[in-house]
Amino acid sequence: MRGSFSRAPARHIFRKCRAHLSIDKSVIFFTKFVITVCNGLRFTECRLNSRESLCEGMRVLSSGRTGALMMTAATDARTAPAARNIWGWLKNFLAYGANTVPNEPRIPFYRHPLLVRLTHWLNAGVLLVMLMSGLQIFNATPALYWGNQSNFARPLLSFVAFQNSDGDIIRGETHIGTWRFDSTGVLGASRVDGELVARAFPYWATLPGPQWLAMGRVWHFFFAWVFVINGVIFALYAFTRGHFRDLAPTGRDIANLPHEIVEHARLHFPRGDAARRYNALQKLAYFTVIFILGPLVVLTGLTMSPTVDAAYHFLPWIFGGRQSARTIHFICAFSFLGFFIIHMIMVFLSGTWNNVRSMITGRYRIEATPQGRAHA
């Protein structure tokens, strides 16, 4: 929408103003130029949009403040619409994600039942505590092996700290098979109170922060049982209320995976009615984490316990030994971490507020228009 005056009325206003003001032609030409710029940029909030304001603007020009008015008008004309557009886009992106239409009509639907929301948030906190306390336990023996015994000469993964002749820690290294690289400051050796000390993982990544194996085990084992109970409750709900069918990938989902990967890489997420259901990537990720990684991390954790091994001899046999179980347990833990990072990225890109709100209230908003019902 252009300004509220056209060229013909503008000329009439100039004649009126010039009759009352003594202004030279250069000032009138410049005022016309400002009007043209404002109209050309569709700047509807131009201050020179009436006879009174135009005459006032010409008075300002005649007073010698031409440069200031030129700078203000040109800057406002350029930045104000752009700022509004950027702010509108940012609000829409944070609410509904990438490649969505601003101000598109949306309708809410009930996406997450109460029990799903409760177990989700409980698991988020429990897994964080378990990961950090698990790293505290790992620091006591910072190496992974395969089999029933520890082969100290050939670890699969290890974090090593090196000392100088005075016994001071000078460097940390990470060893993955035969591959070695310097990881000082993060892995192998990190600073505590400004001093480099031998630690597989730094203090800010463990719970508790200082080296305290006994307390780390207390934290880890207590929250492990919370994790198991929470998982059993969710599994019972999923199997009895049909939620398992919502999460289980079908043959059609597997066949559609390449297309889903391309669409997600282009930041084209399901919209409209398609957003009422989990897509193929969501199903594969959630099913793997909940029904494969979850039981696997519990069973490998139990296998590392001598008491459990004595009662259930088949557990070490299933995983190829206690050290193998420990390695699988470590991989599962960091698979949870990898899932969490990707999950957070997808939540952000597909609409932070819409996703978080649905996991708090249960209600998710989708496009109500026919165009919104198509898969983006």
Q: Which two tokens stand for residue 120?
A: 């989700």
pTM of the model: 0.76
Q: How far apart are CA 118 and CA 227, in angstroms?
A: 13
What contacts 290, CB < 8 A, 6 or more positions away? Answer: 231, 234, 235, 238, 247
Taking a C-beta distance cutoff of 8 angstroms, is the pair 157, 176 a contact?
yes
Has domain 109-148+206-373 been given CATH number 1.20.950.20? yes
Q: Quick check: bond before 208 cis, omega within 30?
A: yes
Of all helices (H) and strands (E), which one includes residue 45?
none
What are the strands of the beta sheet with 179-182, ordered from one edge? 143-144, 157-163, 169-176, 179-182
> Hey, which residues does 199 pair with through a beta bridge?
188
SS3 content of the chain, % helix, strand, coil (to 5): 60, 10, 30
In whole angstroms, what is the distance from residue 192 CA to residue 205 CA?
12
**Exposure of 21 in the CB half-sphere (CA atoms within 13 A):** 22
Single-letter amino acid code for the residue at 19: A
Residues ≥6 apart with Cβ < 8 Å to 356: 347
User: Looking at residue 102, what is its pLDDT?
Assistant: 84
CA atoms within a 13 Å half-sphere pointing along the CA-CB vector of 318 = 15
Q: What is the pLDDT of residue 333?
A: 97
Instruction: Report the alpha-carbon distance of residue 165 to residue 80 in Å, rounded.
Output: 65
Q: Beta strand pairing status for 143-144 and 157-163?
A: antiparallel
Please check whether residue 56 is in contact with residue 15, taking contact to mean a CB–CB distance below 8 angstroms. Answer: no
Residues 107 and 366: beta-carbon distance below 8 Å: yes
Distance CA 148, CA 304 (A): 10
* Residue in the structure block whose two tokens are 């993955």: 176
d(CA 129, CA 219): 7
Torsion of CA 72, 75, 80, 85, to 10 degrees: 180
pLDDT at 351: 95
pLDDT tens sequence for the chain (376 residues): 444 444 445 455 445 545 544 444 554 545 555 444 444 433 333 444 444 444 555 554 455 555 554 555 556 556 667 777 888 889 999 999 998 888 889 999 999 999 999 999 999 999 999 999 999 999 999 999 999 888 888 899 999 999 999 999 999 999 999 999 999 999 999 999 999 999 999 999 999 999 999 999 999 999 999 999 999 999 999 999 999 999 999 999 999 999 999 999 999 999 888 999 999 999 999 999 999 999 999 999 999 998 998 899 999 999 999 999 999 999 999 999 999 999 999 999 999 999 999 999 999 999 986 544 444 3
**pLDDT value, residue 47:** 40
d(CA 143, CA 188): 11
What are the extents of the domains in the chain? 7-96, 109-148+206-373, 149-205
| pLDDT at residue 101 in the model | 85
